[in-house]
Amino acid sequence: MNFRRWFKNSLALLAMIAFCCTLTPVSLTLAQSSPTPGPAPTPAPVPAWAKDLPVYAGLDKLEFDNGLLTVLGIKPEQVFIQQIGLTADSLDTMTGDYSTKLAGQGWTLKNKRGFPTEAMAQQLTFSNPKFPDAQLMVLAATKNVLSLVPQLKAFDAKVPAGKNILAVIVPLVNLNELASPTSPAPVTKTPVGEQSKIAAPAWFASLPKYDLKDLSVNQSVLGGLGIDTTGIFYRAGLTADPVKKVSDFYTGQLKDMGWPAPAKSNILTDDLGQVLDFQDGKLTILIASKAALELTPQTKSLSSQIPDGQTVVVLLTQVDAAPRPGTACQPGAECQVGPYKLKISLDRTSFNTTNSFVATVERLDQSGGEWKLAAEVVPSKSTSATPVQFNGDFERGTANPRQIKMDFPISGNWYIYLTVKDAGGEAVAYIPAVVDPPTVMDARLAWLIGLSPGLGVVGFAFGQWRMIRRRKQDERAAAETLPTPAEPETAEPVKV
Amino acid sequence: MQNIGQNAARLPRQTSLATSPITEQEGIRRQSNFRLAVGWLAMVMWIIASWSLDWDVDWHSIVGRDGFWTPPHLVFYSTIAATGVICAGVTVLETFLYHRQYPGYNDRTTTPVLRVFHGPVGFMLAGFGMVVMLISAPLDDYWHRIYGIDVKVWAPFHVMLLMGIILANLGLVYLFASEFTRRQQLEVAKNKPAATTFAGRMINEIKDLFRPATLGVTVAMVFLATRYILAFGPDTFARGTLTVGNLHLASYSLFLALVPALLVALVMLTGRVGTATLAGLLFLAYRLITGPLIQWGVEYLVVDQGRSLRSGQNSETVIWVYPLFLPLAGLAIDLIFWLTRTWRQAQPTLARQLGVATGASVTGAVILFLLDKPWDLINNLIRQFIMASGNAAAATQIESRLFKPDYWATLPLVAVLGGLAGLIGWAWAVSMRYTER
C-alpha cells in the first residue's frame, strides 16, 4: 500500500469525522450567519427519511469546536448529522449493530473501508432501494486516529481515552462534492505555454549539465506521453548519445548530489526510451530515442524534428499551481471574485526581492461603506519560502480604492492573495507573480567570501604556535639563569 | 613559565611605575578583575545569542523565514552586536591604557594587532567572530533570497556564520583561560596555605570549580560544545550512516567521539578534577532549559500573535538533549585524571601526559558511544507508531528505512577518534596555558 495514499486517506477520514463532530443539525444556522460567497453547491433540504433513521443507544455527548471546521475547509451546509457521540463499544460492535438496525429498515451496505485499517476507523456507506438518491454514511473511529493529524490535536483532547466516536451522516450534496482537506477546491492551473508565469525552481539550475543541443518541444507532445502538463517547467535537448548512457549519467550524477534513486520505467525497452522519476515527480527525466517517439501518434510530430540517431532528453518539474483556492485575476482588469467585482492593479509588472510593490484593490460593485481587506503573498510549492501576511489580519476602512504595500522575501513563483470581506461574505482573489532573484553571485566567489574568516582561524592558530614556541625558548633560556617553575600541565591547582 | 609580575622589567616597554600611584602587580590584578567582569558580561550575552540561534533553527523549520527581521534574528543579531561592541570597547580602552603606560598594560599582558591596537587576545578573537557573524547576516539574507529558506547548512554564508560562531566562542574560551593562567600565577606568588584535612581539600576543590575564571572557561567550553553539536549534529544524525565499504557506521557516534577533546582540554588547562563533570552537567542543563524556552518563544510569538506555521507543522519543538550522557563521560575523564594525578606528577613526562589525555578521551568517547543512541529511541517510537496503526504494508516500508547502523563495527573508529580528541585536547590545553594576555 502506498504510504502517502494511506496517510491522505486517513486525513480525509479524519476530516470527515471532524466535521461530523463540528456539526449538529442545529449548527446549520452557522451557515446563515456567515455566508460564503462563490459558486457553493446548492444543498438539498434534509430528507424526511433521515429523521426516521435508527439511533445507536448509549452514546455520550461529544463537545466539539467550530473552529475545526474552518481549519479543515469544510462547508457546514453540505451535511446533516443524524447522530454523533462517544461510546466505549468497539468499532465492530458499533458498525455491526447499526448495520443490522439499518438492514431492518431496508438499507443495504454498499461499501466498507478502513482508514488506515478497520481496527482504527471504518467508513460504511449505505443505499436504500426505497429512496434511490439517498446517501448514508456511518463513520466509526478510535481516538488514536485523531492524534495522527496535527490539525485534529485540539479535538483529540476532547475524546476521553478508551472512547470511540460514532457518526451517522447524511450528505446533502453528492459525496464527491464534499470538501476534503487533501483535495482543495479546483483552481486555475497555470498552463505551461505561459512560460512567463512559471520560473524554474532554484534547484533546477544546479542539476547536472549534459551536453545537449536545444530543442523546442510543444507541451501537447508531453501530454501525449501521459505527462500532466499543467504547471510544469521543462527543458528539452538533443544528444547523439544512446538512451542508456544519458540515463546512467543523470542517475549517477544526481545520486552523487544526494538525490534518491529514481523510479525507472522503460518505453518498451530501456534502450528505446526511459522515464526517470525522482522523488515522486519532483523531477522527471524523459529520455527517448527517435524510434521511441515514432511509437505513438502524439509524438510522431516531434519525431519528425529529430535527426536520425539522436536522443531526446526532457527534464521537467511540476512547478505547481496556486497553493490555495481563489479566483485568478489579471492585474488591471475587472475580476468577479465571489460576489464582488474587483479591479486589482499592481504598480509594477516585474518583481524582485529588493523592491516592494503596491497593490491597489478597487471595489467596482459598490462605493463607500466599510469593507475589509487582507493581503498575503504565498509561495508556490516549488518555491522554498513561507507565506507573508501584510497588515496582520483584515484591515478595515472605507477608502475605495485601497492600497497595500507588499514585498517578496525570496525569489521564485509566488501568488499575491487578496481577501475581501464584507456583508456579502469572504472572497479570495489571487495573481501569480514571478519574483526575480538579485544578481546571482558566482558560487566560487560566494565560497571564497564564506571561507575567508578561515584566514582568521589560521592566523590565530599560527600566532598561538609562534607564541608557544617563543615562550618555550624563553623558558629554556631562563632555566639557565632562574629557578625552573612547574610545567604548565603539572602545576598543582591553586585558587583562581 | 615566566611570572608576569616578576618579569615585567624584561619587557621592551617599561611601565610608568615611578609615576603611578599603584604598583605593576596591583595594575595586573585590576586588569584581570576588569577583564573577568567584562568577560562574564560578554559570556551572558553569548548565552542569550546561543539560545536565540537554537531558537532560530526551530523557527526556520516551524514558522519559516518570512523576512530577515524574525524575532530570533532580532535577539541573535542584537546580542551579537552588543557583544561585539563590548569586545571592541575593551580593546580600544586597553589600547589607550597601553599607550598611556598604565601599570599592568604592557607587551606581556596585551596582544598587539595591526601595530596600533593592544588588548586581550580573547576579546579580540571574540570581537572578530562577532564581526564575521554580522557581515555574514546580509550575505546570508541575500543567499536566502535567491535559493529560498531551506538552504542547506553547508551554504557559503552559513559556513561564514559558523566560522564566526566558532571564532567568537573560541575567543571567550581564551579570554577566561588567559585570566585563569594569570590568576594562577598571581596566587602562586602569594603562596597561600592549603587545607590540611581531606574534607577541607574536597570542599576547597569544589569551591574552586565555581571561581570566576574557572567557571568562565567551563561555561565557554560548554557553549563551544553546544555550537559544535548545533553545526554538525542534526546533519550528521540525518545522514544516519557513514558507509565505508560494506559497513554502515553510526555517523552520530563518530561525530560525538570528538566531544571529549573539550573536556580533556578543560581538565588539563585547569588541573582541577571535576571541571569535566561540571561541564557535562551544565551542557545537559542548557539543553533541558533551552527546549521549553524555545517552545515558549515559538508559541508566544507565533500562536498568540496569529502568525501562520509552515505547512504540516505545529508549534511543538523537538527538545534535542543529546548527548544525554555527557556528564557521565565527564565523570569518567575526571576520575582518570584524579586516579593518575600522583603518577603523572611524580614524573611529568610528555608520554605520561599524552597517555592520560588520550586514555581519558577514549574512555569518554566509548561511554558516549555505548549510552548515547538516540536513533534507538526514534526507531522504537516509529515501531510503536506502526504497531498502533496495524498497517503491515506501511510497517514493511518504514522498517526498511529505519536507521540501523553496524553498531559494534563503529566502536574501533570511535576509539581512534576518541584518542585523536585526547591529543587535540592536550595540545589545546598547552596553548591555553601559555596564553596570558
3-state secondary structure chain A: CCHHHHHHHHHHHHHHHHHHHHCCHHHHHHHHHCCCCCCCCCCCCCCHHHHHCCCCCCCECCCCCHHHHHHHCCCHHHEEEEEEEEECCCHHHHHHHHHHHHHHCCCEEEEEEECCCCCCEEEEEEEECCEEEEEEEEEEEEHHHHCCCHHHHHHHCCCCCCCEEEEEEEECCCHHHCCECCECCCCCCCECCCHHHCCCCHHHHHCCCCCCEECCCCHHHHHHCCCCCECEEEEEEEECCCHHHHHHHHHHHHHHCCCCCCEEEEECEEEEEEEEEECCCCEEEEEEEHHHHCCCHHHHHHHCCCCCCCEEEEEEEECCCCCCCCEECCCCCEEEECCEEEEEEECCCCEECCCCEEEEEEECCCCCCCCEEEEEEEECCCCCCCCEEEEEEEECCCCCCEEEEECCCCCEEEEEEEEEEECCEEEEEEEEEEEECCCCCCHHHHHHHHHCHHHHHHHHHHHHHHHHHHHHHHHHHHHHHCCCCCCCCCCCCCCC
Contact between chains at A144 and B144 (C-beta distance less than 8 A): no
* Cβ-based contacts of A487 with chain B (< 8 Å): 348
Q: Is pLDDT of B393 > 90?
A: no
User: If you measure CA to CA, which chain A residue comes closest to B391?
Assistant: A117
3-state secondary structure of B402: coil
Q: Could you say which of A3, A453, A475 has the minimum Cβ distance to residue B160?
A: A453
* Cβ-based contacts of A444 with chain B (< 8 Å): none
Q: Which cell goes with A453? A: 574568516
Contact between chains at B435 and A485 (C-beta distance less than 8 A): no
> Rounded to 5 degrees, what angle do the CA atoms A154, A157, A158 make?
105
pLDDT, one tens digit per residue, over B14-66 is 444 445 567 888 888 899 999 999 999 999 999 999 999 999 988 888 887 77
Contact between chains at B398 and A3 (C-beta distance less than 8 A): yes
Q: Is pLDDT of A490 > 80?
A: no
Contact yes or no for B224/B167 (Cβ under 8 A): no
Torsion, Cα A9 A12 A17 A23, to 10 degrees, reads: -170
B303 touches chain A (CB under 8 A): no
Q: Which cell goes with B365? A: 568517547
Residue B307: burial class (beta carbons within 10 Å; 0-12, 13-18, 19+): buried
Q: Using alpha carbons, select from B88, B97, B99 the residue that is nearest to residue B123.
A: B88
Q: Fill in the amino acid letter for A446.
A: A
* Cβ-based contacts of A153 with chain B (< 8 Å): 314
Contact between chains at B67 and A452 (C-beta distance less than 8 A): no
Q: What is the pLDDT of residue A329?
A: 87
Q: Which cell goes with B117? A: 591596537
Residues in chain A: 496
**In sequence order, which residues have a C-beta less than 8 Å from that of residue A132 and are 6 or more positions away?**
none
Inter-CA distances, B136 with B45, B163, B164, B166, Å: 19, 10, 8, 14
Q: Is pLDDT of A193 > 60?
A: no
B145 touches chain A (CB under 8 A): yes
Contact yes or no for A344/A360 (Cβ under 8 A): yes
Contact between chains at A468 and B430 (C-beta distance less than 8 A): yes
pLDDT, one tens digit per residue, over A219-271 is 666 666 656 555 677 888 899 999 999 999 999 888 887 788 888 887 777 88
Q: Is pLDDT of A8 > 70?
A: no
Q: How far is A319 from chain B (nearest CA, A)?
A: 15
Contact between chains at A452 and B2 (C-beta distance less than 8 A): no
Q: Using alpha carbons, select from B93, B91, B111, B113 the residue that is nearest to residue B102.
A: B93
Contact between chains at B163 and A454 (C-beta distance less than 8 A): yes
Percentage of chain B beyond pLDDT 90 is: 53
Measured CA to CA, the distance from residue B110 to residue A468 in angstroms comes to 15
* Cβ-based contacts of A492 with chain B (< 8 Å): 271, 345
Residue with more model confidence, A31 or B32: B32
B188 touches chain A (CB under 8 A): yes
* Cβ-based contacts of A449 with chain B (< 8 Å): 139, 156-157, 160
Q: Which residues of B244-283 are buried (b: 16+ CB within 10 A; e: fewer)?
A: eeeebbbbbbbbbbbbbbbbbbbbbbbbbbbbbbbbbbbb
Residue with more model confidence, B73 or B384: B73
pLDDT, one tens digit per residue, over A152-166 is 555 666 778 788 888
Residue with more model confidence, A146 or A407: A407
How do strand A121-128 and strand A372-379 relate by DSSP bridges?
unpaired
Look up residue B110 and give its DSSP letter.
S
Contact between chains at A460 and B213 (C-beta distance less than 8 A): no
Residues in chain B: 437
B238 touches chain A (CB under 8 A): no
Please identify among residues 307-326 of chain B the ones whose CB lies closer than 8 Å to any CB of chain A: 307-308, 310, 312-314
Q: Fill in the amino acid letter for B337.
A: F
Q: How many CB atoms lie within 10 A of CB A116?
A: 23
pTM of the model: 0.65
Q: Provide mean pLDDT across the span A136-159.
A: 67
Cα-Cα end-to-end distance for chain B = 14
User: If you measure CA to CA, which chain A residue comes closest to B266?
Assistant: A489
Task: Tell me the pLDDT band of B128, cut-offs 50, 70 and 90.
Answer: very high
pLDDT, one tens digit per residue, over B82-124 is 999 999 999 999 999 999 989 989 888 898 888 889 999 999 9
Contact yes or no for A151/A72 (Cβ under 8 A): yes
pLDDT, one tens digit per residue, over B300-311 is 887 666 677 776
Cα-Cα end-to-end distance for chain A = 66
Measured CA to CA, the distance from residue B294 to residue B56 in angstroms comes to 9
